[in-house]
Amino acid sequence: MIQVNHLTKRYAGRTAVDSISFDVEKGEIVGFLGPNGAGKSTTLRILTCFLSASEGTASVAGYDIYEDSIKVRQHVGYMPENVPLYPDMRVKEYLQFRGRIKGLRYRDSLRAVNEAMDICSLSEVDHKIIATLSKGYKQRVGLADALVNKPDLLILDEPTNGLDPNQIRQSRELIKRLGERHTILISTHILSEVEMTCGRVVIIDQGRIRACDTPQNLIRRLRRPGEIMLEMQGDGDKAAEKIGKLEGVKSVKKTETGNRWVTLSIHTDPNIDAREDIFGLVTEAGWKIRELASRAASLEDAFVDIVQRPSGAKIKEEADA
Ligand SMILES: Nc1ncnc2c1ncn2[C@@H]1O[C@H](COP(=O)(O)OP(=O)(O)O)[C@@H](O)[C@H]1O
Ligand SMILES: [Mg+2]
């Protein structure tokens, strides 16, 4: 659905996107991640033919971005960063106008707008002036705009930017639902959202691709020391000393919780699970356990690790080692 080959964009004097290559297959939901200024919006603007590349090639929805830019725009639903809307128009009126601009005939545009409003739960505000809508509704109008020409492919640039946690959850559900019918390339920096919705992520930093894989694989490759949390009642100092001698345990830190409960934060070697040993040791001593949990690594941990690595370090090779 998308093929990107050594795409490069230079703005006067600086390279915003530096020879990137990646593919998106039909039916995938791919997260496009990176810190601010990484080059995400620039890439998405090039792929949607709103900006020309300096070098490289790309095909989107089967069309070349240079040769067939009109076709690309007809077959892609694009929601730009900071959704530009006409604030003085009413929701339905605006979407119909957009549908017509995208080449829909009047009758078709009526049907398409109603459908898009239905999908984005906008029907109850269809006659409201856009300026009076909340941020969450405005984002949904942007999304309905992207959907109105029934594209196979959706390219969404930070669709959840500036939304509150509740709106983010709703938008996540919506994007998941859209993923059943559309191929989606979505840039965001809400990583928990990516972990739940995206089958694959492309991580870009300083204009270069730093990783490209499933969230699960990125997390698995993260060679982070293990972290276990133990909350127990008994002789905390003695427990810390004994646990510190277990195989694979690197350090133990104790904090008093009050009422004789202590919390121990235990760091272990990567990929070592010392929970059973700790459990045995504590119960044998006759102490009580309230909690014993290992903190699982998240996509956020993997992202921070990948982006902080010196550039040039390849993630793939490490996995193969
Ligand atoms: N029109 C422009 N002119 C010059 N530099 C730009 C322009 N647009 C973006 N940049 C620069 O290109 C880099 C990438 O920007 P952008 O693609 O917006 O990143 P992201 O969307 O990942 O935050 C940034 O350093 C930004 O300052
Ligand atoms: Mg951006």
CB 199, CB 30: distance < 8 Å = yes
Q: Quote the domain boundaries for residue 230.
A: 226-294
pLDDT at 180: 92
Q: Is 266 exposed, middle or buried (0-12, 13-18, 19+ CB in 10 A)?
A: buried
Residues 22 and 44 both lie in one domain: yes
Residue 256, sorted as left (phi over 0), alpha (psi -120 to 50) or beta, turns out to be beta
pLDDT at 319: 41
- Crossing angle of helices 165-179 and 106-119, in 10° steps, is 120
pLDDT at 288: 93
Q: pLDDT above 70 covers what percent of the chain?
A: 96
Residue 83: pLDDT above 90?
no
- Please tell me the distance from the alpha carbon of residue 286 to that of residue 315, in angstroms, as a whole number: 46
Pocket around ligand 1 at a 6 A CB cut-off: 11, 16, 34, 36-42
Q: Say if 136 falls within a structural domain.
A: yes
pLDDT at 200: 96
pLDDT at 312: 54
* Kind of pairing between the strands at 76-79 and 153-157: parallel
Q: Say if 319 falls within a structural domain.
A: no
Q: Say if 302 falls within a structural domain.
A: no
Residues 155 and 249 both lie in one domain: no
Q: Mind listing the pLDDT tens digit for each residue in 176-186?
A: 999 999 999 99
Give 317's pLDDT tier (boundaries 50, 70, 90). very low
For residue 41, give every residue at least 6 positions away whose Cβ sits within 8 Å of its Cβ, in sequence order, or none.
80, 81, 157, 187
Q: Mind listing the pLDDT tens digit for each residue in 193-202?
A: 888 889 999 9
Atom of ligand 1 nearest to the CA of 44: 17
Residue of higher predicted confidence among 167 and 213: 213
Residues 119 and 203 both lie in one domain: yes
Ligand whose nearest atom lies closest to the CA of 10: 1
pLDDT at 320: 42
Residue 321: pLDDT above 50?
no
In the reported structure, the alpha carbon of residue 133 is separated from the centroid of ligand 1 by a whole-number distance in angstroms of 29
Average pLDDT, the chain: 90
Q: Mind listing the pLDDT tens digit for each residue in 230-262?
A: 999 999 999 999 999 999 899 999 987 777 899
Residue reference for tokens 């600086």: 14
Tell me the CATH number at 233: 3.30.70.260
In the reported structure, the alpha carbon of residue 112 is separated from the centroid of ligand 1 by a whole-number distance in angstroms of 34
CA atoms within 13 A on the CB side of 9: 23
Residue 316: pLDDT above 50?
no
- Please tell me the distance from the alpha carbon of residue 101 to that of residue 5, in angstroms, as a whole number: 30
- Please tell me the distance from the alpha carbon of residue 140 to that of residue 127, in angstroms, as a whole number: 15
